[in-house]
A and B are shown apart, each in its own frame.
Chain A
Amino acid sequence: MSELKSIKTLKDIPRKEQFAPGHRLCAGCGIPQLVRFTLKAVPDPKIVVNATSCLEVASTIFPYTAWKIPWIHNAFENSAATASGIEAAFRALEKKKGIKKPKIIVFAGDGGTFDIGMQALSGALERGHDFIYICYDNEAYMNTGIQRSGATPKGAATTTSPAGRVIPGKQERKKDLIGIAIAHGIRYAATMNPAYPVDMYNKIVKAASIKGPVVLHYFTPCPTGWYFDPSLSIEVARLAVQTRLWPLYEYEDGKYKINIMVRRPKPIEDYFKLQRRFAHLLRPENKWLLDDIKKDIEENWKRLLRLAGIEA
């Protein structure tokens, strides 16, 4: 049995794999790294609850499974609810029959978290179930063919928010998932990014050490839905942080901490130009939208600095 242990470099990551190769996630997808890291960082015994999503369909095509630990898929919107039931059951069985309660991990996409699963997540957080909720956010419904979600960023083109002649992509901001989670009074929440593996691993370790609900929000580059070369996945992910678009920060017991301080941000255009979903933003007629997005990014960064008690 492994133990909770934070790491200093990638070399410290345990070798043991509980997510088998041969699954059908796309090349360049950010999800397998999240899953492998999570299963390494969270000690046994553990259980995974998976919402209907890319990960679910790609890792368990009957009669195959990539999971070497108990894994359950119930439906799309109810992964937090299912986790609630499992957690409650083990609480009862631990008391009555002495069965050791495993750690319960939820993996859900942005659709299953920001949209259809929001109510179930809110309920589970409010009730204080002991589980780790991880939203892997590829910023649209990728599993059904790149439709817009509440996590799709402003300006992005999806099949249901196309870059049209009148409306150039999604016009609304992305929901603040961490803000929503924290508002429930949970103890720990954090953002993660595959280009910063040590930070990511240690956040999962931290999450596993806390009793009660925690929420982790993971940036998942999606070559299929964002239209970039799969070899550029980590580059895209890194740029999201370096442009201040995806700040890496954590919240613990009332305190905010910015984990990667981006003093001199790269231009957002560097990030946008790698992905076809943003191509229209770089056209002159859409400059107003690009400026608007830049303003949003700046405001969000300042907000986080304030929360973290740092002078801008």
Chain B
Amino acid sequence: MIKLISNITYLHLKKIERCRLLIEVRWHGRGGQGVVTSSELLALAAIYEGKYVYHAPEFGPERRGAPVRAYTRIDNEPIEQHFGIYEPDIVVVIDPTLQTEVDYILSGLKKNGMLILNADEPYEKVIEKAKMNDIRVWYVNAYDIAMDIFGRPFYNTPMLGALVKASNIVNLESVNRAIEEKFKGRGKEIIQKNIQAVELANKEVKQYES
């Protein structure tokens, strides 16, 4: 029988390796922030670990200036389903200003799911609403990390690093390999900085505890 596991933690994964794993991630950000790239990097990292993936850009209509979404579906069996992700296990909000759009970012997020925010302090209304659904909130100040490393607000790779720590869907090494592959034409410095950003966010990300 297929066993769908929606409440994921890495501890579970190890125990039930031989059974079906299905994790769905939704990414939020704005145009130009590399939302699609972070989803793609996660997908590539999962492929390196022998998993199956479906990474897709926005399913809904896209408008200039409007928030952008991307989706990653990860499984250890071939993925047949090609529909959009409406009830994600994990939501990653790359853009710091979007955390105030509480209903938008929490839309469909499963009970016991996970929310990862780019914030110095999570917005209180998000926390409130997340609590109602037993959603675990993680947060990291990716702005500071990005400004320290890139000198520009590139949040996507730090947020990927945060996701890896919070969920452990993939290993950090796989993410770094994906970055090397994806940015191989862009020079060593870009690769190193992105890896550094991933690792730093991976260390700094914290689970919110009231």
Q: Do chains A and B touch in the complex (CB under 8 A)?
A: no
User: Which of B's residues lie within 8 Å of A, judged by CB?
Assistant: none
User: Which of A's residues lie within 8 Å of B, judged by CB?
Assistant: none
